[in-house]
Amino acid sequence: MASRTLSRLRLHKSLAPGAKEMSTSIEQAVATAQSSSGKPKLTYYSAWFCPFAHRTTLALERHRGHVAYDWVEALGWEKRSKTQEEIATKHENWYHFKHPDLMTHNPLGMVPTLVDSEEHVITESITAIEYVDELVHGGDDSIMAQAAHERAQERVWAGHLAKTACSKYYGVLVRQMESEQLEAFGEIEAALEKFATMLPGDGSHKSMVTGPFFNGREHPGLVDLTLFPWAWRFPVFETYRDARFKIDPDKSPGLAKYTAWLAAMGARDDVARTLPVWDEYLDHIGRYADGSARSKVANAVRDGREAHQYDDEKDDVKE
């Protein structure tokens, strides 16, 4: 299985066995990671192609002056023998390979997975964003909002977009009936229109701040980092579907605001450093577009559920 990392990031090759019991407590992990002098050090189990992990990469690169990390390329693809279901595509019977160290620290085998110096484990992509930000006390520019009510609002919005715009991405790709693809794409557009109401630009948003990001912030926050990995990937629809699946800024003022937000995100150095090579990503996502991918997310969507509704047992591939 060929390994690949983003061009700037290091590949951490091994970890000692015997990981401690997994914990998703942000407070406990932060206290542990900061108990020694110097920058906190993390081991980051990731996958270059994974938009869920991309969220965590965005947080780590935002605060790279305050946190050190080793990247472990922990997922890949391997071809296995035929299953009961015949899929006549060039990607037939490809499955996720999972790094054994990832399985030691996170038996669910999911990325992103962060491990601190005492082998406490942080999982779940949105939680990982918050964890990294809290770990470095917000660094130079905090990801999380300063006011408690704004943080609460951002968590709600992040969860909403994860279930709508992000989750529906896989509906457009994995489901092979055109009617289902168009339905999922329409829901993405609706989610982006709603997101745009929280962006400045046309007088509809009443924030006193006039930055280009969610809620008028000058720097991207939790909601921006939650949505961006999928927003960057949405143009794959134009390759694997057709022009009807283009998110067109001329279609509405909301989509124009969204497009301006996407450009502002991509113009940031800390964001640009995290982007995969586009052609390599297009080749990768073809396994989803032709329905042959055998990941938990793909299995759930193929079964008629949403991507965020995958089941760790039912949708896992064990053979």
Integer Cα distance of 262 and 257 in angstroms:
9
Beta strands in 217-257 (DSSP E): none
Diameter of the chain by CA atoms?
A: 59
The mean pLDDT value of the chain amounts to: 81
User: Taking the domains of the chain in order of start, what are their residue ranges?
Assistant: 26-135, 148-309
pLDDT of 41 above 70: yes
Q: 26-135, what's its fold?
A: Glutaredoxin (3.40.30)
| Pairwise pLDDT comparison (278 vs 318), residue with the higher score | 278
* Phi and psi angles of residue 198, each rounded to the nearest 5 degrees, phi first: -100, 15
Rounded average pLDDT over 290-298 = 64
Give the Cα separation of 63 and 116 in Å (integer).
Answer: 16
* CB hemisphere CA count around 62 (13 angstroms): 29
- How big is the chain, counted in residues? 319
- Burial of residue 34 (CB within 10 Å: 0-12, 13-18, 19+) is middle
Q: Residue 156 — very low, low, confident or very high, per pLDDT cuts 50/70/90?
A: very high
State residue 319's pLDDT score: 46
User: What's residue 198's pLDDT?
Assistant: 95
Residue 209 pLDDT more than 70? no
In order of 108, 193, 242, 271, the CA distances from 4 in angstroms are 22, 35, 29, 19
Of the pLDDT bands very low, low, confident and very high (cuts 50, 70, 90), residue 306 is low
pLDDT at 23 over 80: no
**pTM for this structure?**
0.81
Mean pLDDT of 180-201: 94
Q: Is 115 helix (H, G, I), strand (E, B) or coil?
A: strand
Confidence bin at 132 (pLDDT 50/70/90): very high
- How confident is the model over 44-53, as pLDDT tens digits? 999 999 999 9
Alpha-carbon span 154 to 158, nearest angstrom: 6
What band does 289 get if pLDDT is binned at 50, 70 and 90? confident
Least confident of 245-259, 270-284, 289-303: 289-303
Residues 6 or more apart from 186 whose CB is under 8 A from it? none
Q: What mean pLDDT is predicted for residues 265-277? A: 97
38 falls in which pLDDT band (50, 70, 90)?
A: confident
148-309: in CATH 3.90.550.10: no
Q: Determine the Cα–Cα distance for residues 6 and 229; give it in Å rounded to an integer.
A: 14
pLDDT band at 87 (very low <50, low <70, confident <90, very high): low
As given in the structure block, the two tokens for residue 10 are 């290091």
Torsion angles phi and psi, residue 37, rounded to 5: -75, 160
Residue 217 burial (10 A CB sphere; 0-12, 13-18, 19+): buried
Distance CA 68, CA 209 (A): 32
- Residue 169, pLDDT above cutoff 60: yes
- Who has greater pLDDT, 102 or 6? 102
- Residue 54 pLDDT exceeds 90: yes
Burial class (CB in 10 A: 0-12, 13-18, 19+), 151: middle
